[in-house]
Amino acid sequence: MQIIWTKHAEQRLTEWEQRKQITRAEIERLLLDPDQLVYGDLNILIAQSRRGDGLLRVAFIETHIGRKVLTLYWTSKVAKYWKEHK
């Protein structure tokens, strides 16, 4: 599966590399094998994984050639975004 990076996503990655040492390889692994996949607004998919004391979230859309990364971020608000299976 191909991963397509938007300019915005690359800029966000640069910011998070400096803040939390998040790497491009880590994001691409998460997109290929997320701990959890949830829907965001407008049916955008969000791959997420626990990282340290927070959550790494990558918003993307499926295209005919692969997953297009829209944005990414780390948050400490795990309880807000993590979906517990019941």
CATH code of residue 11: 3.30.2310.20
pLDDT at 1: 81
pLDDT at 79: 92
pLDDT digits (tens, 9 = 90+) for 29-78: 999 999 999 998 888 999 999 999 999 999 999 999 999 999 999 999 99
Distance CA 42, CA 39 (A): 8
How many domains in the chain? 1
Do the domain assignments include residue 6? yes
H or E element: which one contains 57? strand 54-62
H or E element: which one contains 59? strand 54-62
Residue 44: which domain range?
2-77
Q: What is the pTM of this model?
A: 0.91
